Chain A
Amino acid sequence: MKKSFSVSTWLLPAVSGLIFIGLWYSVRVVSGLQSWILPTPGEIMAAAVHEHTRLLAAAGHTALGALGGFLLAAILGFFTSLLLGLSKSLRASLYPWLLMLQMTPVIVLTPIIMLWAGPGMPGIITITWLISYFPIVANLTQGLLSTDMNHVALFRMCNANRWQEVLLLRVPAALPYYLAGLRIAATLAPIGAIFGEYMVGNASGGTGGLGFLVYSYNTQIKIPALFATALTSCLLGFVFVAAVAWLNWALLHKWHDSFERADH
């Protein structure tokens, strides 16, 4: 049982990855494309090593913007959902506008954000917040509305006040929903930050984020370095998702049905 588990989780992706890299090399050889159009994985790794100081600094910069926007979305999303989940009239009055904000493509809002928040970190954080806010609100609001009616009756029978009902019942019951929202937001936050850097970022003090590097490498036609930037962005995304997956595990594994029952 355990063996087949590790075979399917490690060996199979490794084999398919190797096949993919092999195909990549053969396409390059057969097609005769040049390095600046289709660099080989080896050339990309070489570029990554060569550019590693710039890539790491840029990744740190992007991580900061992504984290800022993500935390802002997590905090504002929590309180927005409380308002929406606990008051029917607030929900009716605010939800359509939130939906409208979500439906407006961020790319259209970017010049406005740049005008208001200015270029650099404030603008990047705003864009990241915008892109990761809605999934959190949608999920947590749903969670706050899904409280078991028998649990509510139990609290009423104990003469619980409104605050006790919210803090000791509705919020903990909605926690899995909140974490599901955070997980989606974690995949979006680095994308939002990189997009923001590409659109409104600048290299203040010689450091820009990964989005700025994309712009910079592209204009210099450093294509292997561009691929290396893509790889770095991907790794950054994994770090974000892994952090939320860990949080999810830490908060839920003891009691929630989404984790395997502990044996005794």
Chain B
Amino acid sequence: METVPPIVKFTSLQKRYGVGPVILDAINLTVAPHDFISFIGPSGCGKSTILKLVSGLSPGSTGELTVMGVKPREARDRQAFIFQDATLLPWLTAQLNVELPLRLRGRPEAERQTIARKMLELVGLAKVADYYPRQLSGGMKMRVSIARALTLAPQLLLLDEPFGALDEMTRNRLNEELLAVRAVAPFTALFVTHSVSEAVFLSNRIVVMAANPGSLHAEVAIDFPYPRRPELRGHPDFQAKVNEVTRLLHEVEIPPSS
């Protein structure tokens, strides 16, 4: 295990905007291949900023961050970002939305179509390939967004509260589907969420963050083996992990000395 290079490595990273307040401080974290790490914490703890740093959409201030051994921006070809809302282009059909990353890289049309079709099948949406986004439900839009992120077979997937706007039943189903997709097309995942049970169900590691400034408070290992079945949610061990993470969240949510 010692020889496997990390997918992401934060070394004493700090992030602030100009001379403004420190957003993230003293971040030290090593992400191993095939980790599924969830970041959870009070709002303003900078969990989304972590993803922006890794994607290179936002630069770090001091300290070091490498993604697959190189600077974040240089690793963009091997990572994909799934946003809070599905961010589909409304003037393109589901199929053409999934093709977009390939199109932007100048891949030939036949190849684009084949890959996009396959990805839509993977998320169970082959039948609505020719629908426009406004004809799709929230859950379907998010599935298209996942399919789009997977077209380039990324090694690292960044997910910023992707299921936050969905109802709980849809969210649970998409959690299961995300793990199923991951079994077919393996990727390392950094996942930001507000839902403890979602984090426990998906991840092998949960990072609880604190705010003011944003920092890593505690880490919880979730050792349930993959593939995980929906029944896992009813298991007492699952509930114990949910309780443990919830307790850690309470620690950081108590306002300091006020």
Contacts and interface: CB of A to CB of B under 8 A. Distances in A.
B135 A261 contact: yes
B104 to A, nearest CB: 4
Contact of B104 (A148, A150, A159, A173): A159
A157 B134 contact: no
A97 to B, nearest CB: 33
> Of A150, A151, A154, which is in contact with the most chain B CB atoms at under 10 Å from its CB?
A154
A168 B96 CA distance: 12
Nearest to B58: A153
Interface stretch (A104-112, A127-135, A252-260): A252-260
Contacts of A158: 76, 100-101, 104-105
B123 to A, nearest CB: 18
B57 interface: yes
Contacts, number: 56
A156 B57 contact: yes
A226 B134 CA distance: 50
| Interface magnitude class on chain A | 20 to 34
Interface stretch (B86-94, B179-187, B198-206): B86-94
B89 A169 contact: yes
B103 A153 contact: no
B100 A148 contact: no
A151 B133 CA distance: 14
Interface string B117-142: 00000000000000011110000000
A159 B133 contact: no
Interface in B12-59: 55, 57
Given A150-B85, A157-B81, A261-B135, A256 B90 contact: yes
Given A154-B87, A155-B104, A169-B89, A255 B134 contact: yes
A157 B85 CA distance: 16
Contacts of A154: 81, 83, 87
Nearest to A254: B132
Interface of A: 148, 150-151, 153-160, 164, 168-169, 172-173, 175, 254-257, 261-262, 264
Q: Which 5 residue pairs spanning A and B have beta carbons closest together? A: A158-B104, A255-B132, A150-B87, A160-B104, A158-B101
Interface of B: 55, 57, 76-77, 79-81, 83-85, 87, 89-92, 100-101, 103-105, 132-135
